[in-house]
Amino acid sequence: MAMTTGNVISQYCQVEDFSSQYGGENSISYTATNLSNESNIYPRYGDYTHACVLRTYGPWWKLAPSAPSPFKRTPPSFTSEDFIDISFHSKVYPSKLEIYETYNPGAVVRILACDCSPQEALERKIRWVTLWSGPPDQARQETRIFSPPLKPCPFPTNFLRLEFCHSKLYYYTELDAVKLHGTKSPPKNQCPIHDNSHSSSVDDDTKFSISSLCCCPNNRSAADDTLKWDKLSLEDKMSHMTLDGPPAVHKKDNGYFDSLPGEVIQLILSYLDVPSLCAASMTSTLFFHHCYDPLQYTEINLQPHWPLVSDSSLEYLESRCRHLQRLNLSWCGGYSQITTQGFRSFIKECSKELTCLVLGCCKFVNSECIQIIASSCNNLLELDLQCCPTESAGFLQIMKLSSLQRLNLYRTQIDIHSIVAIIRSCAELEHLNLGSCQMINSFDDVATELGKNCKNLKSLDFWRARTISDRGLEALGNNCPLLEEIELGWCPEIRSGNSGNCIVELIQKCRYLKKLFLCANRSVSDKELNALAQHSKYLEQLDILGTREVSINGVRRVLDNCKKLTFLDVSFCANVDFAFVEVCKTEYPHVNIKKSFQDS
């Protein structure tokens, strides 16, 4: 719905895509789509089910046993952990964006605009520009309308991306609405803008020959070349590195670098990300050879550069990725910017030594892509396919990757037949994420197969697994004693407390537990907390949100006996009041204790 005041058009957003959400796939509570349409919470502050809520907050998930090793060469300026793509009815030149933050504000770190609608993006090459970016904020704990100053946009847009970083948040951030203001025509005081800092294409004024980039005629300064280089897109920068020989050199004297051993230069360059390597390669023959060395490309993180990555980018990288071991393409290739054919060509050429492949939210990943991965990546140990839109049957090919140790299938369409086949073939699995996998109709069978086949299992995410029950937990407890982390939030069929002993028995048998999330399990009681206090000396994180049968005595036993505990969520525990929480924060300052609330 758009409203016009004078020349200014104001409109609320619709959600097109997102990387995670707290709510279930078939729910209306805490889902990303709650961001759509007009505000209905603001100006109230607190935890409301009809808000948009993302999956994580703070540093806790990165400190858990399931956390993968971070990628090197990630630019310090890239802090984004989640995104939401939003669209509007009419294209405008943005003058103001209002983000209604109604709980734990401060997570928005970047706002980007696209030069076409989501539908148009599927049909042509697209361009993204950054309208605003900033660090995560430890904002005051109050509702607000966040409206950062926007850079002028060089085109009208009705398609934005919001990026979030949760590392500074005390608790889950909640969003109510997003409102865009703008005009059909550029503002009169806006000069022509050519911003390619986040562009997937090259403007006309930056299209120049390779020869003009690789040499420096007498009538042009090196600074002029640098300015033009900075305007190039990622694939154009990389294309200039695929010449048969090194570029012409501005000067033959490499300064003190000529005195350094090659190994030292390689070490220095190893701190650069891919675009920076491309830039460094143009400075001298010496740097060209070092920047072109395949040993500089054993680990590549392209997620920070997702607006720039396309089929061409992968094509230009192929020749120097013969020793590639770890690759992160998360968020890349959306809206048909990477095709199945482009991905297939790259993987076939660069997968011989690949051990880690991260493809989170890559919309190009289909059954054919998984088949290519399964047939080409024989040494793969880690595979992340979270939020990939592959149809259920396509996941069956993963069973060929028998050496897998880590598999993330969060919010995918994998079904029971495929996951059982994978588990039976991948006996070395240590970390498995099946959170919000709605097509699995018997998590008890999954747990049983894990118990039979994956004795080294260390972390298991069954977030919103509606069919896990006592039978599945019994199989895990009896057969997976090395478990360090288990996520059982919003699993309604688990019967504990006075109704059963399955969680107590799991705690008794899995003595290495460091993280246990039991949120919204209404039957958890002091019996489970007593078991933790007695048996879980390594426990670091405990979430018992909404477990209404626990008492302050049970909570205190855990705090007294679990000496390594650093995180405890007792939100919506009816018998644990705010006064007790405040006392515990003083008595146990090493434990970050959470208790959410709503405005009265």
The pLDDT value given to residue 586: 98
The pLDDT value given to residue 3: 76
Q: Three-class SS of residue 305? A: helix
The pLDDT value given to residue 500: 78
Q: Does domain 2-183 have CATH number 3.30.465.10?
A: no
**In whole angstroms, what is the distance from residue 581 CA to residue 600 CA?**
19
**In whole angstroms, what is the distance from residue 135 CA to residue 16 CA?**
25
Q: Look-up: residue for tokens 């048969």?
A: 244
**In whole angstroms, what is the distance from residue 528 CA to residue 536 CA?**
11
For the record, the structure tokens of 91 come out as 């294209």
**In whole angstroms, what is the distance from residue 45 CA to residue 383 CA?**
39
- What is the SS3 assignment for 465-477? CCCCCHHHHHHHH
The pLDDT value given to residue 540: 98
**In whole angstroms, what is the distance from residue 64 CA to residue 49 CA?**
26
Q: Three-class SS of residue 451? A: helix
For the record, the structure tokens of 598 come out as 């709503």
Contact 60, 152 (CB under 8 A): no
**In whole angstroms, what is the distance from residue 568 CA to residue 275 CA?**
41
CB under 8 Å to 514, separation ≥6 — which residues? 64, 65, 484, 485, 538, 539, 540, 541, 564
> Can you say how many angstroms the Cα of residue 487 is from the centroid of all Cα atoms in its chain?
18
310, 278, 307: which is closest to 291 by C-alpha? 278
432, 410, 411: which is closest to 420 by C-alpha? 432
Contact 441, 468 (CB under 8 A): no
The pLDDT value given to residue 166: 95
Q: Three-class SS of residue 114? A: strand
Q: Look-up: residue for tokens 């294309």?
A: 239
**In whole angstroms, what is the distance from residue 72 CA to residue 450 CA?**
32
364, 383, 387: which is closest to 373 by C-alpha? 383
Each of the 600 residues of the chain gets a pLDDT tens digit; together they read 677 777 999 999 999 999 999 999 999 999 999 999 999 999 999 999 999 999 999 999 999 999 999 999 999 999 999 999 999 999 999 999 999 999 999 999 999 999 999 988 888 889 999 999 999 998 999 999 999 999 999 999 999 999 999 999 999 999 999 999 999 999 877 655 444 444 444 333 323 222 232 333 333 344 444 445 555 555 555 555 443 334 444 445 677 888 899 999 999 999 998 888 888 888 888 888 899 899 999 999 999 999 999 999 999 899 999 999 999 999 999 999 999 999 999 999 999 999 999 999 999 999 999 999 999 999 999 999 999 999 999 999 999 999 999 999 999 999 999 999 999 999 999 999 999 999 999 999 999 999 999 999 999 999 999 999 999 999 999 999 999 999 999 999 998 766 679 999 999 999 999 999 999 998 899 999 999 999 999 999 999 999 989 999 999 999 999 999 999 999 999 999 999 999 999 999 999 999 998 775
Contact 304, 273 (CB under 8 A): yes
Q: What is the dihedral of CA 306, 310, 315, 317, to 10 degrees?
A: -10
- Domain definitions of the chain by residue range: 2-183, 214-290
For 194-247, the DSSP string reads: ---TT-SS--GGG---HHHHHS--TTS-HHHHHHHHHHS-HHHHHHTT-SSSPP
Q: Where are the alpha helices (DSSP H) in 525-575?
A: 526-535, 552-561
157-164 and 108-114 strand pairing? antiparallel
Q: What is the pTM of this model?
A: 0.91
